[in-house]
A = this chain, B = another copy of it.
């Protein structure tokens, strides 16, 4: 556009884009990182707090276990990152977990992963927006006082943006993500410096509070169970890690290597921020409780239901930078923004996955082709509707929503990694090159450990979270699974029914002649055009047909027909009940009865108008007639359009609509690139 907006673009994207068209933008690593990592990076805004919340059930003394839980999350994170680095190399086509599971474990596993991911996208929106609102609320109190309303409003805003087809651009993601990462690192560094070098005591706003343990003196198995629950909550930090494996085609070359490097970078940033925040929270004595109203006490008195528990990241920021200081507000804003971008990720991922599922005929086929605004819109509305429902039911409370969140992620992690093990096994059977075999065996080991570890976490999550809400997520997965299976079965049945036989059958006997009928109501331009076109087609018999619903008009039509000397016979059907559809359908049927081997071609002059309300005023009879004729065997129906002046505008509108950008275009990468890459798909 202008030079002003061009400058940051040049800095960030490196060069002016040669064209706005999709497919000429490949992402360098520094742009790919924010595009794909806003989801996992943003989860450090809530994951550390969730760990503390669960531990608080056993009282403040349980906080001592938080470093161990953080360590477990770090190990898990590196395991997952290492595993996905293998995926990225083995499946550079961007199919992601669905493709891996589908190819190696069969369609049922694939469909399970797909269902899990779809549920996951819904929850990404619900959790990220809720958490974003909570973070924003620590700086702007109005937001936290109208939490559900604010969350729904932001979901609506994102939905509208995506429905309008706002292009997902690297710039949009880059600035807030880097500001967020920079702020968090500054906070950790400054906090560490204050704590270690200055020996300054940092006090979180909640440092004065005590926690009333919900369950006194937990020990043995109960304590282990609580620690596992805390670990499960911490695993929320891993959501979205798989995004890069879907986006390999969008990377600059060498695609797989760049994607793998970005993945590692993202893992490093995420764990550093996660551990840093936990550490600062311990150092500044943050106090969080599951039910703050009852369990948080000040001088022995519960804080009461009006108390608003700020997220751990903003409490830490208050301790390090001072409440409502510049950095505090900046961090709150950046955190909220990154969380909203993470939600937007789902708006891009949902239709992307939809298009892959549509290709495998689990979803309506039109989702597969690009630029089908209507189809994408339906997906977006479904996503937004489900997310809003969750936000409303769970009061936009990120802590409650997280209970549902992690199941889907670990279902797909586990199945994907198991699939990778199979993948290597298959390749090892044929590979003879020793160096390659060694690499494969190493990869297999990584994936096997990944599968084992993520599977274990899945079991832990299911056991510790099932009654807390994970069953809702499972129910959602079952609904998606059943629906998609039904759609696939339908397509398979139809495909079988319409398969072309090798031997000619009754059905494929070719009609010998064609009898064309032009429908006429008056002699006007559309009619004349239809008659001219009908003559061009040189059918075996051609006649014009008019329905007599008004004797005066019919008489006028006959007179005009003769006056103009139109050399096509005009047949008039009497319609005593002023019906139009029935006499025509019956006439066509009678023609077919007389000569069953003839085809009948019905030619309908049609007006093309510009506005929907004009459409209501025209063509309604034609539309209904076409609908009925389609059920009549041996008939083809031809529309000869006549463009009214007002249609020009509508034509332009339609072309503009066609230039609409489907969400997910940037992260999907250009198709041409994609199809050139060798694909692991069978």
Contact = CB atoms under 8 A, between A and B. Distances in A.
Contacts of A650: 631
Contacts of A633: 643
A370 B538 CA distance: 35
A591 to B, nearest CB: 15
Interface string A647-666: 10011001000100000000
A616 interface: yes
Contacts of A631: 608, 641, 643, 647, 650-651, 654
Contact of A499 (B494, B525, B670): B525
A22 B640 CA distance: 34
Interface string A620-639: 11001011111101011111
A527 to B, nearest CB: 7
A364 B607 contact: no
Contacts of A640: 636
Contact of A528 (B500, B617, B647): B500
A609 B493 CA distance: 12
Nearest to A490: B617
A176 B631 CA distance: 44
A191 to B, nearest CB: 49
A549 interface: yes
A435 to B, nearest CB: 31
Contacts of A643: 630-631, 633
B523 A500 contact: yes
Nearest to A507: B525
Which of A372, A491, A500, A609 has the largest count of B CB atoms less than 10 A from its CB?
A: A500
A581 B621 CA distance: 26
Number of identical monomers bound together in the oligomeric complex:
2
A644 B494 contact: yes
A637 B628 contact: no
Interface in A288-302: none
Contacts of A618: 365, 494
Interface residues of A, number: 95
B551 A645 contact: no
A614 B614 CA distance: 29
Interface in A511-559: 511, 513-514, 523-529, 532-533, 535-539, 549-551
A671 B630 CA distance: 29
Given A508-B525, A525-B498, A578 B671 contact: yes
Nearest to A508: B528
A532 B511 contact: yes
Contacts of A39: none
Nearest to A370: B578
Contacts of A607: 494, 498
Contacts of A624: 366, 372, 374
Nearest to A617: B364
A628 B599 contact: no
B508 A533 contact: no
Which of A582, A608, A631 has the largest count of B CB atoms less than 10 A from its CB?
A: A631
Contacts of A576: 23, 670-672
B494 A368 contact: no
Contacts of A612: none
A629 to B, nearest CB: 8
Given A366-B621, A620-B365, A636 B641 contact: yes
A495 B532 CA distance: 20
B637 A641 contact: yes
A62 interface: no
A620 B578 contact: no
Contacts of A498: 524-526, 607, 642, 644
Given A498-B644, A637-B638, 13 more contacts: A365-B618, A368-B549, A369-B578, A371-B577, A374-B624, A500-B524, A500-B528, A536-B539, A538-B538, A551-B675, A576-B670, A581-B658, A633-B643
Shortest beta-carbon contacts, A-B, top 3: A631-B651, A366-B620, A638-B638
14 contacts: A23-B576, A365-B618, A365-B621, A366-B621, A498-B607, A499-B525, A508-B525, A508-B532, A514-B533, A536-B599, A537-B601, A551-B675, A626-B639, A636-B641
